[in-house]
Amino acid sequence: DAMVIQNPRYQVTQFGKPVTLSCSQTLNHNVMYWYQQKSSQAPKLLFHYYDKDFNNEADTPDNFQSRRPNTSFCFLDIRSPGLGDAAMYLCATSRAGMGSYQPQHFGDGTRLSIL
């Protein structure tokens, strides 16, 4: 089945140690999103790629970066994780510009813990 796959499902890192989360998709969608979801809260959009164009949300900390080397893959880099960055990170994809709305498809997320 076509899907959005996030690796790893669980990631533990040390305070201040860079970490990279991975997302891949087989849907051939041109938009990929990264959300942060803290415990008992709604997902919060960090940024998205529309094709190769990177779009950052205004309140996303500089500590968070993203890369999209090709259509299928997108990475979330946290340069110096702090305790407040412990959260579930969700990747989503959608196809835009097709003349009709396409809803977002979500992966199962990566739960990040900071020691």
Partner 1 sequence: AQSVTQPDIHITVSEGASLELRCNYSYGATPYLFWYVQSPGQGLQLLLKYFSGDTLVQGIKGFEAEFKRSQSSFNLRKPSVHWSDAAEYFCAVAPQNTGFQKLVFGTGTRLLVSP
Interface positions with partner 1 (CB under 8 A): 4, 6, 31, 40-43, 45, 48, 50, 55, 90, 92, 94, 96-109, 111
Nearer residue to partner 1 within complex by CB, 78 or 89: 89
Give the span between the Cα atoms of 81 and 38, in whole angstroms.
14
Nearer residue to partner 1 within complex by CB, 55 or 80: 55
* Shortest Cβ 77–partner 1 spacing (Å): 20
